Amino acid sequence: MNIAPGKSAVGNVPFDQARVDGLMEEAGVDVLLATSKHNTQYLLGGYKFIFFAAMDAIGHSRYLPIVVYEKGGPDHAAYIGNRMEGGEHQNNPFWTPTLHAACWGTLDAANLAVEHLQKIGMAGARIGIEPAFLPSDAYMLIRKALPDAKLIDATGMLERMRAIKTDAELEKLRTASELITDSMLATIAWAREGSTKSDIIERLRREETNRGIHFEYCLLTLGSSHNRAASPQAWKTGEVMSIDSGGNYHGYIGDLCRMGILGEPDAELEDLLAEVETVQQAAFSNVRAGTLGGDMVSHAESVLKGSKVAPYTDFFAHGMGLITHEAPFLMTNHPVTYEGTYADKPLERNMVLSVETTMLHPTRGFIKLEDTLAVTETGYVMFGDRGRGWNRGGIS
């Protein structure tokens, strides 16, 4: 399907066009070829094709959605998708004036992108690409077909594009976080003596799915173990549970961690979780628009350094949104390999942060809190703000 400009039922551009154009100008990009699911979803206003939601491979190739967006030229925008997406367009028209719902693999998608760039006079332009999300065969085809073009890594520009959330995005992140929290608390209450890690993870998957979340993962520990993988290990009375889960709601990720106990926590456990909470609160106290990201991190780290649990406890903070680690990037290679490029930049209103303090206690086990915050002008709003103490197992 090739719908020419002016023939499509085009609505408003679903993102802040002036901001995106400004970021493209700063990055030296004339036209974008967005090829990742998260960035095509963002540029299409939240759309993601359900057929390839869980996998990309088909036949000898893979699904490769492409959004073409020219700086200052939304009338030249195009979406290149799978043949079956013509039906999606009939029901809910894409905003892009041109649609090519015609592809089954990477090369036909790349060919259509080249043809569209040539048609709109961008064959020799500075083209922003996503190297980590552009298959090598598609890259080589574009490079050969457009010898006069300059291909520019637009990854950083696209990350900055998504860093500040709209109110609608915040609502999806809030919903994801609330439903994951509900699911984790229900799972802890359900689990009892003899429940295995595999049983508990499967229960959480069902709890999340029944609440309308797409289950992504569960990292779970029981007792004194620090191993978070599924296993036949069973929960025993007096042991702790750490349950850390990510799931998405309409593509937006919720990622939180809560603690459970089978029985009643003793004084030592109460004290250990309080130490974790103290570090979390130290980080929260520096979250507001205008605060340097690095200052928030360093304050939390300084409080942790003075704690008796410092030798086996770690603090970490990162951005959240369509993916689990996105701008603002606050820490370098800790533990995910990226540069903390926002450490010396101010936090901005509607950025979203995941704040986590993790204790690997040598005898009591894995004790952790992870919380999701939206930055405001005067502080923050927390999503899923409950169940942050010791939650009792075996009560439902």
| pLDDT tens, position by position, 283-322 | 999 999 999 999 999 999 999 999 999 999 999 999 999 9
Euclidean distance between CA atoms 199 and 215, whole angstroms: 15
Domain final residue pick, 95, 127, 162: 162
Domain final residue pick, 162, 178, 212: 162
Task: Assess whether 243 and 339 both reside in one domain.
Answer: yes
Task: Assess whether 17 and 38 both reside in one domain.
Answer: yes
Task: Assess whether 281 and 387 both reside in one domain.
Answer: yes
Task: Assess whether 14 and 116 both reside in one domain.
Answer: yes
Torsion sign, CA atoms 288, 213, 260, 357: negative
State the residue range of the domain holding 200. Answer: 167-392
Task: Assess whether 40 and 177 both reside in one domain.
Answer: no
CATH code assigned at 72: 3.40.350.10
Q: How many domains does the chain have?
A: 2
Task: Assess whether 192 and 136 both reside in one domain.
Answer: no
Residue 52 banded pLDDT, cuts 50, 70, 90? very high
For position 69, what pLDDT does the model report? 98
Task: Assess whether 356 and 215 both reside in one domain.
Answer: yes
Q: Would you call 87 helix, strand, or coil by DSSP? A: helix
Euclidean distance between CA atoms 132 and 139, whole angstroms: 11
Task: Assess whether 143 and 262 both reside in one domain.
Answer: no
Domain final residue pick, 140, 162, 184: 162
Beta pairing, strands 313-319 & 252-261 = unpaired
Asked whether residue 9 carries a pLDDT value surpassing 60, the answer given is no
Task: Assess whether 71 and 208 both reside in one domain.
Answer: no
The answer to whether the predicted template modeling score (pTM) of the entire model surpasses 0.75 is: yes
Task: Assess whether 174 and 149 both reside in one domain.
Answer: no
For position 188, what pLDDT does the model report? 98
Task: Assess whether 29 and 120 both reside in one domain.
Answer: yes
Q: Would you call 13 helix, strand, or coil by DSSP? A: coil
Beta pairing, strands 126-129 & 150-153 = parallel
Task: Assess whether 175 and 209 both reside in one domain.
Answer: yes
